Each structure stands twice: as structure tokens, then as C-alpha cells.
Amino acid sequence: MKVFMGMWSWLAAAVVAVVAGSALAQAPVEVPFFYPVAVGGPITKIIDRFAADFEKENPGIKLHPIYSGSYQESIAKALTAVKSGDPPVTSILLSTDMFTLIDEDAIVPFDDLIKTADDRAWLASFYPAFMENSQTGGKTWGIPFQRSTIVLYYDKDAFREAGLDPNHPPATWKEMTEYAQKLTKRDASGNVTRWGVQIPSSGFPYWLFQGLTIENGVNLMNQAGTAVYYDKPEVIGALQYWLDLVNRYKVHPPGIVEWGTTPKDFFERKVAMMWTTTGNLTNVRSNAKFDFGVGMLPANKQRGSPTGGGNFYIFKKSTPAQREAAFRFIKWVTAPERAAQWGIDTGYVAVRADAWDTPVMKQYVAGFAAAAVARDQLPFAKAELSTHDNQRVTKALNDGLQAALTGTKTPEQAMKDAQREADRLLRSYK
Amino acid sequence: MTRTREWLYAWLLLLPAATLLALFTHYPAIANLWHSFYSTPRGSRPVTFIGLDNYRALIDDPIFWQALSNNLWYALGTIPLSIALALLMAVWVNGHLPGRGFLRLAYFTPTVLPMIAVANIWLFFYTPGYGLLEQVTGLFGLPSHNWLGSRSTALPALMVVTVWKEAGFFMIFYLAALQSMSPHLADVAAIEGASRSYFFRRVTLPLLMPTTLFVLVNAVINAFRVVDHIVVMTRGGPDNATALLLYYIFEIGFRFWDSSYAAALTMVLLTLLAAAAILQFAFLERRTHYQ
Amino acid sequence: MITATGVQASYRISRSLETLGAWVLGILWVMPLFYAFWTAFHPPAFSTHFTPGAPVTLQNFVKAWQAAPFARYFVNTVILVTMVLAAQLVLVTLAAYAFARFRFPGRDVVFALVLVQLMIMPDVLIVENYRTMTALGIKDTILSIGLPYMASAFGIFLLRQTFKTVPRELDEAARVEGCSPLQTLWKVYVPLARPTYIAYALVSISYHWNNFLWPLIITNSVESRPVTVGLQVFSATDQGIDWSIISAATLMTTGPLLIAFLLFQRQFVQSFMRAGIR
């Protein structure tokens, strides 16, 4: 009896050991990640499908996609999680959050994970314009995933009505002003029924403003994120041009133009040309009941647009196994076919050149030429405003722009005040 | 029961509530005060004691003063108006006006709709060009106006949304109070020849005082607490014209990640609320009628 | 000279004006809801044009349903609101009873400390509370949304006031019959405080149904997110606002509550009315 019992307990112990051992050996690597939804469409479904497909090909990894709201909320969630010691392994966050994340010691650069020649080739395949906001101090901190630029949408039918060539969007500031003057319609009592052009100024006017300043020859900050140039004459000149559209030429609505309702304004034909993200392409295509076109932003001294959108980051508080798993996912999801499909489904600009050469993308562009405008603009695109203490430094500019656009301050005063505030904030980072 | 048993009993009764309060109110509040004297930890930089620096920065911060002034105007604009409207609505619904079932429902529906949802609808109302208000003013030939996009009208526009949301909620309390007033009073007043407004001023209003104070507490709390509509409609703009204190705290704490400055700002908000609460409760304890 | 008919006439005029005023206000008040109905049931092209005879569609509801799991969000909200209210009623009753009817050293000091929560609402202490929740290990649960609110100073204050008005004779009568303090509480105080409970319940439900900022911070997953946070997925897109879908989502999630009020409003007001708020 005793021997019998002894044998059973041996067997039990052995079974337990085997099971425990195999469980330990095969415990899947958990990779929670935050993702924002900033465009319409079944994004959550697409992300979930990505996760499922990736897990099928990589059985040892378990992805936990967590929808975290808008970009603002996502960075809020990510940083709150970092501060309470419980961050995700990776996240899609704004490319401009890079310095904030570095300062909070929240992320690790990708350089340690990029070991093979294949990896290096993969890194080199992303458009340089998108990498500008992803690298600093010689290291790569973010991988572009859902990126955008500003483009000019215009009402072709309105162009025809005004005697303009519907296949020629304005190529220079002068043309934009002239076209806008022809396109602005007024009723009998002098009230405007259709504006010529509108550039949104609510929420984050700095982004749209960057379009104007790049076109006027200067970007707003240095690459190290330690200095901004809000009060350069070219910048003030760009702001003056914006104000002239409102006050001098009267082709642009007064006050603050709401970002969220600008596409609707376009559909309602209350405005003939609008500046907004390329991410709105599918939205405009579905809802504009008239012939519309997409053009690059007009040049003054040069063509230009800031980039926008989100990158993948890898968080510091993670095990090496988790980092490798996350890295593998990031490489997988930015493969050319997937990048192309993501671009088509969401309206974001596919982040690598070879994605544009895939058959599915070629077919898409063949059927919808407007989709390629953002890509064609990329050689002229520059980094989005991004510095240390980014949100605050950006807010200083936003407030200044809104003050100028509501007539509370002159452009010079507004930009000088913004510069002073930014200098004060950046002092400790120099 | 004996003294010791009495206070043992009392403490047992209090224990659950007291624990939760200590954990989620008192401890965080003290932690907040503590943090306002220390710098914000940032990844590589450790926390250092900075004394009153945050408070000095606060005094020099024009946006703080703007937010403070905005909040005070906002409170002034929404609290009396929503209470007065609530009372008016209650009187109307209570009096035998035709269709009062519909009216009661109409006045109350804003309460049921979350602010996040209605803020978007109000955004449509205020949209220049084709928004509802524009369509109506257009009928009268009035010029177009960018309500949310100009500094002078943005905050009042938000105040309207708040009053719309709150008045119906307060109405219910007034309605109950009105309906529980003895009808004798009205009869006696009619016999004595008192006019409606006299009766209202001298009899109804004083009897409604407890309800008014109850409603006032809620209104004051909400004037400082609800910032959802700002998040959706103006994001504090244009140029901080619609920044309220809590919204600014949220921006500083969760956009700029300056938790120590946010803590200092919070202390200001807490002081304001403390002052308001003390005033109200001094009143409440004294004025309430016990029957 | 004021004739009877003269008085009657002016009375009728003022009544009619009042009725008109009340109705105009009522229609203004219901506009947003009406607009929500209009846009939810019509295609986006008609969301800003009120042309009668526009085609009716259910597509917006389909799209809204697909965009986020609203049924789950609704269930979460119901659980949250119920859980918070139940906990509040219990905790608040016990504490108010202690303050109203027991003498113990430090009572007034403790009461003042309780009142502090009236000023320091959990809404203002977000970062600190987030840390606490993480330490407790209950982050991203419905419980974590409700926990900071369960000990409600407002409720304690209200109920203490109400309990204080209960005549001592009733208390003594119950004691004479051999009731323990808790039994007295249950048999005497609670029934008499019913209107206060109802008023408080209304405040609590409305507050937590509409609460947005704290749930936004503390929840991450579908299993714990309430309706307000879920609705917000439509508020912040790059693509701008689609009023049709937002309205459809709003109606889907607030519909049940609206219908409940529609059906039960009379009972609601009546139970308030029975003794009123004092």
C-alpha cells in the first residue's frame, strides 16, 4: 500500500512538473498596446484583425490591442500608465510626442532592436519626411505607421462656375488668393454665401499654420527640439497672409474656423477650397455630392506641408522578450502590402515607397488619382512642430494664432508673445 | 446604552464611509497639497522641493487669471439663471397649463442626455453658415456670426448649453416642493385678495428656501465640475476665452504633464469651493425649516 | 373701475401669454433632442437641411452600432450606476445615523472632515486617485469608477438633516419595544426618510450616468467603459463631425432612460411630492 501510494505521488509530482515546465516554457509573451482612432471607419475591427492574423503567424505572442480614444487621450493614458508603473509594451502615439516620451523616460530607441541587415533595410524604406519626427540625437525613437499631410480639397464644379480650370488647383499663394476672390459668392445684402477658402484654426491651428510657414521658407523649430522660431519675419509674414485672406481680400471666414465642421462646410458648398488632412479623403469621396479635386498646398517660396499622424513607440518598462515581440509586430504591420491596405482603408498616407508599388495600391491610385497627391507632396513635406514640453510650447503658438485671428493682437505681438513664452519653457532643455 | 458602547457603535457605523472618504478624498487632497510644493518628476529628473514657486508662477500666469475670471463669470451666468428658470418651469408645470405633461418631459430631457453627446449637437446649432442658429437668424435677415469662434460670444454660448442642461433637472425638485405645499395657503391668500405675485414672493419663495439651497449646492458644484462641453466644443479656445479652472487643470495635468503646477492650481480651486461651501452650509444649517 | 369681466379678461390674457411662453420654452428645450431624432433617421446629406419628405434610413444606427459595442457600454453604465447608488445608500444611511443620533467624542470634527468631500470632489483628484487604484489593483474595472464616489458627503449631510427631524418619541417607542439601534434605524428612520432617498437617488443616478472625465482616465477596455466614454469615440476624429452617427449613437444609448422617464414620470414626481424636500 505504501509503495503504491509512493508511486502515485511520484507520478503526480512528475505530471505537475511536466505541466508546469511546459507552461513556463510556452507562456505566451503578452504585448498590450494602445491605439487611437482618429479617422472614421471600422478601425477597431481592422486592428483586431491585424492582431488575430499576427497571432496566427506567431503563436508565442499574445497581442492586446486597447482602444485609447483620440491622440490626446492616448498620450494621456500612456503617460498616466507610465507614471503609475503599469505602461503598455507598445503604443501608437503622435509623432510629435517623441520628446515628451523621452523626457518622461518612457520609451526606448529602436536602435538596439535593429540588428540584422534586413532590419536596417526595413528602417531605410520609410519616407524621410516621416522619419524627421521619428529620430533625434542620432537614434530612432518611433516607427511611422499612420501618417498624413495637409492637402487642398477644392470644388471642381465651383471652379467651372467661376471660370477657372477645374484641373488646375492653385499652385501659388497669389493664385489661391485670386481663385478665392472669384469663388467667393455673396447674396443681395452682401452676406457671404460661399467662401473662397478656409483654413481651420480651432484646436490645433499650429498644424495648418506650419503649412503656410514652410511655404514661406521656414519651419518652426530645430531638429533637437530645443528652439522655436515663432517670431521670424517669414513666420509673421505667413500669419499676415492668413489675416489678409480674412481682412483684406475677404475670402476667408472671420474668427476661429472649426476643424470638425470644415469638411461639412465643404459638403454644404459653403466653401470652395479647404485645407485639411489627407485622412479625410474617403470621407470627402463619400459625402461630396459634387465633382471635387485634391491638390498640393500652394507654394510661396516653395511648396510645403507639415506631416502629421502617429508612430509606434516601444515602452521602457517591458521585458526583452516583450520588446522583441512588439518589434516583430511593428515590422509585420508595416510590411508593404499591409501598409498599402492600411492606407487605402483609412486614408492615411502609406508610409513607405514600396507600399505605393504594390498591385493593390497601384490599382487604387489608378481608380482614384487624388489618393496620390499626398504622396507626391512628400518631397516637400517637413517635420511637424515638435519640441521638448511639446504640448505647452505648441499651446503658446496656438493661443497666439487664435489671438491674431480674433483680432485681439497684431500678428507681430502675438508671435512675439508666443516666442517669449516658448523660450521660457525651453530654457531648461538647452 | 453605555458611553463606550455608544461610541463604539457610532464608529462601527461610520467606518465604511470614513475609510472610503479618507482613501479617496482626504489622503489625495493632502498628497495634492504636498505635491504642490515639489517639482514635477520627469523621467530622469528627480523630484525637488520648490516651496512656493508654483504659487508664484500661478500669480504670474495670465491664463490662470483668465480661467479664474472665466469660471466666476460662468458661475454667475449659469447659476442664477438655471435656478430661476427651474423655478419658472416648475410653476408652469404645476399650474394647470394645457399640455403640461409634454412640458414636463420637454424640460427634463436634457438631464438624461450625456453632455458629451449634446455638446456635438449644440456644435451644429452654433456652426456658422448652415447651423441651426444661422438658419433662424438668416430668416430674419440678421448677419452671420461665428458664436464659438469669437472671444466675446464663446463663453456665453457655452453658458446657454449649461443652463439648458441643468434647469430641467432642478425643476423636478421645485415641482415636488410646490406640489407638497398645502393648497390651503393659496385659498387663504385668494380670499384675502392677495395678488399672485404677492403670494409668490411672500409665501411660496420662503417656503421653497430649502429646495433653493439644495439646488444651489448642486449648481455651484456643477459650475466648477462640468467641463465636458468645453472638451467637445471649444477646447478652451479661442485663445483661452472658454478655459475654466478644472479644464485648465486637466490641460496642465494631463496634456502638459506638469503635475505639481496642476496640484497648485487644484489648491486654488479647492479653496474657492471651500469658501462657497462654507457660505452655503452656514446658511443651510440656520435657515432650514424643521417641521 | 375694475369690473369682474375686466379682471377675468386680463387674467385670461396673462394666462395665454404664460402658456405661450411655457410652450416656446418647451419647444426650445426639446430642439436638440428633436434634432438628434431628425439626423439619426436621415442620411448625412440631410443632417443640416430640414426638408420634409427626406428619405428615412436606419443606416446611421447600423454604422454607430458597428463603430463601438454600445450594448456592452450601456450594460456597464447600468451596473455602475446601480452599484454606486446601492453602496451610497447603505454607507450614507449608516454614517448619517451615527452623526444624527449618537454622541461620541470628536463627532463635530469628524463631520466637518466629511463635509470636506463636498468641496473636494473626486473629479479634482484624478492623478492621485489613479495611483491609488493601481496600487489596489482594480484599475480598469467598473468598481474602480464608482469607488471614490461611494462615500458621499452630500448624502450624509442630507440624510443627517432628515434623520434629525425624526421625533425622538418614535425612537424611544422603538427602544421600549426592544429594538436594537440598527433595528430602530431600519424600522423608524429609513421609512421616514424616503423622499430624501429618492431625491438623492435622482442626483446620484444623473451624476454617474453623465460622468465623463474620471471614467475616461480610469477605464481602458470595453468591459468597463461606460456610455459617455464610448460615445466620445465620435467626438474627436480627424475627419470631423458626422452628426448623423453621433445622434444615432446618442439615441441608442439614452433611449432606454428616456423611455423610462416617459413611462414613470408621474410616479417619480408623486413620490417626491408626498413629503417634499425639506
Q: What is the 3-state secondary structure (H, E, C) of chain A?
A: CHHHHHHHHHHHHHHHHHHHHHHHHHCCEEEEEEECCCCCCCHHHHHHHHHHHHHHHCCCEEEEEEECCCHHHHHHHHHHHHHCCCCCCEEEEEHHHHHHHHHCCCEECHHHCCCCHHHHHHHHCECHHHHCCCEECCEECCEEEEEEEEEEEEEHHHHHHCCCCCCCCCCEHHHHHHHHHHHCEECCCCCEEEEEEECCCCCCHHHHHHHHHHHCCCCCECCCCCCECCCCHHHHHHHHHHHHHHHCCCCCCCCCCCCCCHHHHHHCCCEEEEEEEHHHHHHHHHHCCCCEEEECCCECCCCCEEEEEEEEEEECCCCHHHHHHHHHHHHHHCCHHHHHHHHHHHCCECCEHHHHCCHHHHHHHHHCHHHHHHHHHHHHEECCCCCCCHHHHHHHHHHHHHHHHCCCCCHHHHHHHHHHHHHHHHHHHC
- Interchain contact, A255 vs B238, CB within 8 Å: yes
Give A19 or C144, the one with higher predicted confidence.
C144
Residue B220 covered by a domain: yes
Chain C positions touching B250 (Cβ under 8 A) are 126, 213
Residue B231 lies in a domain: yes
Question: Which residues from chain B sit within 8 angstroms of residue A398, using beta carbons?
Answer: 237
- The mean pLDDT of A234-259, rounded to a whole number, is 95
CA-based nearest distance C259→chain A, Å: 29
User: How many folded domains does chain B comprise?
Assistant: 1
B182 within a domain of the structure (yes/no): yes
Q: Are residues A393 and A290 in the same domain?
A: yes
Q: Which residues on chain C are in Cβ contact (under 8 Å) with A202?
A: none
Residue A195 has pLDDT above 60, yes or no: yes
Closest CB from B28, B210, B214 relative to C129: B28
Out of B72-86, B172-186, C13-27, least confident range: B172-186
Residue A72 confidence (pLDDT) above 90:
no
Q: Measured between CB atoms, which of C22, C276, C277 is closest to B103?
A: C22
pLDDT of A184 > 90? The answer is: yes
Hey, how many other C-beta atoms are within 10 angstroms of the C-beta on A370?
17
Q: And the C-alpha cell for C152?
A: 458621499
**Subunits close to C (at least 3 CB pairs below 8 A):** A, B
* DSSP state, residue B288: P
Query: What pLDDT is recorded for position B1?
Result: 64
Domains of chain C by residue range = 4-57, 62-273
Show contacts of B155-158: CB within 8 Å, 24+ apart.
B155/B70, B155/B73, B155/B74, B155/B77, B155/B241, B155/B242, B156/B77, B157/B126, B158/B74, B158/B229, B158/B230, B158/B233, B158/B234, B158/B242
Q: pLDDT per position in chain C (278 positions), as tens? A: 556 666 677 778 888 888 888 999 999 999 999 999 999 999 888 888 888 888 899 999 998 887 778 889 999 999 999 999 999 999 999 999 999 988 888 888 898 888 878 777 888 777 678 778 888 888 889 999 999 999 998 899 889 988 988 888 888 888 888 888 888 888 889 988 888 888 888 888 888 988 888 898 788 778 899 988 888 767 666 667 788 888 898 888 888 778 877 777 777 666 655 544 43
- Closest by Cβ to C130, choosing from A69, A73, A84: A84
Do A343 and A402 have their domain in common? Answer: no
Average pLDDT over residues B255-273: 86
Residue B18 lies in a domain: no
Kindly state whether residue A375 falls inside one of the protein's structural domains: no
Same domain, A162 and A53: no
Which residue, of A344, A368, A392, is where some domain finishes?
A368
What is the distance between the alpha carbons of residues A257 and B128, in angstroms, rounded to a whole number? 9
Residue A275's domain comprises: 149-307+383-429
pLDDT at C275: 45
Residue percentage of chain B with pLDDT more than 90: 32
Residue B261 falls inside a structural domain: yes
* pLDDT computed for residue B144 by the predictor: 84
Per-residue model confidence (pLDDT) at position B114: 85
Quick one: which of A238, A280, A259, A242 has its CA closest to A153? A280
One domain for residues A358 and A422: no
Same domain, A129 and A153: no
Grid coordinates standing for C39?
Answer: 439626423
Q: Are residues A74 and A175 in the same domain?
A: no
Per CB distance under 8 Å, which residues of A are interface residues toward C? 34, 37-40, 42, 44-45, 66-70, 72-73, 76-77, 80, 83-86, 148, 259-264, 267-268, 276-277, 279-280, 283, 287, 289, 347
Is A197 domain-assigned? yes
Q: Which residue of C has its CA nearest to A148?
A: C238
Q: Which residues in chain B have Cβ-Cβ distances shorter than 8 Å to C125?
A: 24-25, 28-29, 32, 266
**Which residue in this structure is represented by grid cell 477644392?**
A154
A303 and A394 belong to one structural domain: yes
How do strand A61-67 and strand A107-108 relate by DSSP bridges?
unpaired
Residues 6+ apart with CB under 8 A from B85: B163, B167, B171, C25
**Is the CB of C267 inside 8 Å of chain A's CB atoms?**
no
Same domain, A233 and A313: no
C3 contacts chain A (CB < 8 A): no
* CATH number of domain containing B60: 1.10.3720.10
Select the residue of C123, C128, C154 nearest B32 (Cβ to Cβ). C128
Decide if the complex's ipTM is over 0.90. Answer: no
pLDDT over 90 (residue B184): no
Average confidence (pLDDT) over B246-257:
85
Q: What is the CA radius of gyration of chain A?
A: 25
Assess whether pLDDT exceeds 90 at residue A272: yes
Residue B148 has pLDDT above 70, yes or no: yes
To the nearest whole angstrom, how far is the Cα of B235 from the nearest Cα of chain A?
6
Instruction: With respect to residue A164, please indicate whether it lies within any of the assigned structural domains.
Output: yes
Residues A177 and A283 in one domain: yes
Minimal-distance CA residue of chain C relative to B131: C48
A227 with A200, same domain: the answer is yes
CATH number at residue A72: 3.40.190.10
Domain annotation covers residue A373: no
Taking a C-beta distance cutoff of 8 angstroms, is the pair A279, A307 a contact?
no
What's the longest Cα–Cα distance across chain C?
A: 80
Do A77 and A36 have their domain in common?
yes
CATH code of domain C62-273: 1.10.3720.10
Using the structure block, give the residue that is written with the C-alpha cell 432612460: C257
Residue A257 lies in a domain: yes
Residues 6+ apart with CB under 8 A from A263: A274, A276, A280, A283, A284, A287, C239, C240
Contact assignment for A37 to C127 by CB distance below 8 Å: no
Structural domain span for residue B209: 50-286
The closest of C75, C66, C69 to C230, measured between CA atoms, is C69
How many other C-beta atoms lie within 10 A of the C-beta of residue A382? 21
Q: Are residue A239 and residue A302 in the same domain, yes or no?
A: yes
Q: What is the C-alpha to C-alpha distance for residues C190 and C94, in angstroms, rounded to an integer?
A: 10
* Min Cα separation A226/chain C (Å): 28
Q: Could you tell me if residue A5 is inside a domain? A: no
In a domain, A216, yes or no: yes
Task: Provide the number of structural domains found in chain A.
Answer: 2
List of residues 6+ apart from C239 with CB closer than 8 A: A38, A39, A40, A263, A277, A279, A280, A283, A347
Please report whether residue B230 resides in a domain: yes
Beta-strand relationship, A90-94 and A305-315 = antiparallel
Cell numbers of A281, please?
479623403
Q: Which residue among A76, A192, A402 places its CB closest to the CB of B238? A: A402
> Residues A333-343: what's their mean pLDDT?
93
- Rounded to whole angstroms, what are the CA distances from C166 to A295, C102, C170? 76, 14, 8
With a cut of 80, say whether residue B21 has pLDDT above it.
yes
